[in-house]
C-alpha cells in the first residue's frame, strides 16, 4: 500500500474512532497531496508524500516554537500531537554516525574537496538520504566534513 493510500485509510479509521486531532492532521496532509496533484497534473509518489510530510512537520515545529515563546501551552501540546502523528508516517531518522558515513561516501563519489563543492554534495545528499534527515542537519554535517 502506498503512503498516500495509507493516509487515506487512516483518515477513515480516525473518523470511526473519533480521533479528531489525527483526522484533522491527516486531512491537512491529504489536502497538500491533492494540491500538488492538481497543480502539477501528476500522481504523487511515496517520495513526494514524504517530502510533503517533512514540510508539514517543519511547519508544526516552527508553530510550536512560536507558541512556546508566547506561553501558549495548550497550543504547544496540540502541535506536539500533530508532530507525533506525522513522524509515524516517516522513515526512521538517521543517527549522526550513519549520516556522517553516508555523507563521507557522497563527498568521495562527487569528488568534493572544499566548501566550493558544497552544492554538489547537498544535491547528491538530498536524493540519497531523502526524508531520513532534515536539510539543516545535512547542511551542518556537510559543512563540518568539508571544512
User: Which CATH number is 80's domain given?
Assistant: 1.10.1510.10
Helix %, strand %, coil % for the chain, to 5? 80, 0, 20
Distances (CA, A) of 139 to 75, 107, 122, 125, 126: 30, 13, 7, 9, 10
Quote the number of domains for the chain.
2
Same domain, 82 and 101: no
Same domain, 52 and 109: no
Is the model's pLDDT at 135 over the cut of 90?
no
pLDDT band at 22 (very low <50, low <70, confident <90, very high): very high
pLDDT at 146: 85
How many Cα neighbours within 13 Å face the side chain of 133?
A: 23
Same domain, 26 and 68: yes
Helix axis angle, 20-40 to 73-87, nearest 10°: 60
Same domain, 114 and 70: no
Same domain, 21 and 83: yes
Contacts of residue 86, defined as CB under 8 A and 6 or more positions apart, other chains included, come to 25, 29, 53, 56, 57, 60
Give the Cα separation of 79 and 57 in Å (integer): 9
Same domain, 22 and 75: yes
Is the model's pLDDT at 89 over the cut of 90?
yes
Domain interval for residue 59: 3-87
pLDDT at 115: 87
Same domain, 14 and 66: yes
| Residue range 4-24: mean pLDDT, rounded | 97
pLDDT band at 65 (very low <50, low <70, confident <90, very high): very high
Same domain, 75 and 31: yes
Provide the CATH number for the domain around residue 102: 1.10.10.410
Same domain, 7 and 68: yes
How many angstroms separate the most distant Cα atoms in the chain? 55
Averaged confidence pLDDT in the chain? 92
Cα R_g (the chain), whole angstroms: 18
Q: Which residue has the higher pLDDT, 37 or 96?
A: 37
| Grid-cell match 563527498, residue found | 107
112-125 pLDDT per residue, tens = 888 888 888 888 88
Amino acid at each position: 500500500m502506498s503512503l498516500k493510500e495509507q493516509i487515506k485509510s487512516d483518515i477513515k479509521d480516525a473518523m470511526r474512532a473519533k480521533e479528531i486531532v489525527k483526522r484533522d492532521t491527516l486531512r491537512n496532509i491529504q489536502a497538500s497531496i491533492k494540491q500538488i496533484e492538481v497543480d502539477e497534473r501528476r500522481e504523487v509518489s511515496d517520495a513526494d508524500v514524504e517530502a510533503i510530510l517533512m514540510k508539514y512537520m517543519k511547519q508544526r515545529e516552527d508553530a510550536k516554537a512560536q507558541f512556546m515563546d508566547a506561553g501558549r501551552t495548550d497550543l504547544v501540546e496540540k502541535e506536539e500531537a500533530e508532530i507525533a502523528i506525522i513522524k509515524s508516517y516517516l522513515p526512521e531518522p538517521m543517527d549522526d554516525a550513519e549520516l556522517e558515513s553516508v555523507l563521507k561516501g557522497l563527498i568521495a563519489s562527487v569528488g568534493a574537496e572544499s566548501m566550493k563543492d558544497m552544492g554538489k554534495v547537498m544535491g547528491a545528499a538530498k536524493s540519497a538520504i531523502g526524508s531520513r534527515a532534515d536539510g539543516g542537519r545535512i547542511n551542518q554535517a556537510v559543512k563540518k566534513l568539508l571544512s
